[in-house]
Structure 1
Amino acid sequence: MRATQWTWTFEDAEGRPVEGGGEVFPTQADAEVWIGENWRGLRERGAESAQLSADGQPFSRPLSLRPAD
């Protein structure tokens, strides 16, 4: 049995792809820790949202990268 691969994709405010880290994570928790540590840099590159995928399939709703008010 192959382990699940977790990845992030990123979009700008118009829904266009934004280049991200390209990392593949062995667990959902690892992916979530990474986004928590890197969201500010992604925002600086124009990303407005992040989508977590499991084996290439969207896992949850897109996550806003905007700071909480």
Structure 2
Amino acid sequence: MGWSWTYETADGTPTGGRSPEFENRGDAESWVGETFGDLVEEGVDQVRLFDGDTEVYGPMSLHPS
């Protein structure tokens, strides 16, 4: 299993979306840093990072604070 992001609305409701899987955390973090603008346009407000089925951190807002 690899590293991936799940997508949520601002109130924590899952959108059903999930990122591609990545071999390592660094690649997953780079990807979300490069694509967060597209995710926001698609209605994603925050993400959670998973290593396989284990949540590593989140929620992380995609909006400026």
TM-score by length of 1: 0.81
Give identity over the alignment, percent.
35
1:12 equivalent to 2:9? Answer yes
- Partner of residue 54 from structure 2, selected from 21, 36, 57: 57
What is the distance in 2 between the residues matched to 1:31 and 1:14? 23
TM-score by length of 2: 0.85
Q: Whose strand fraction is larger, Structure 1's or Structure 2's?
A: 2
What are the Cα deviations for residues 3-50 of structure 1, in whole angstroms up to 9, with x where unaligned? Answer: x51010010123222254530000000000000000001111111111
Count of paired positions: 65
Return 5+ residue gaps in structure 1 as ranges: none
Equivalences for 1:1-69 in 2 at 5 Å? Answer: 5-20=2-17, 22-68=19-65
- Which structure would you say has the larger Rg? 1
| Distance apart, 1:67 and its partner CA | 2.2
Return 5+ residue gaps in structure 2 as ranges: none
Q: CA RMSD in A?
A: 1.6
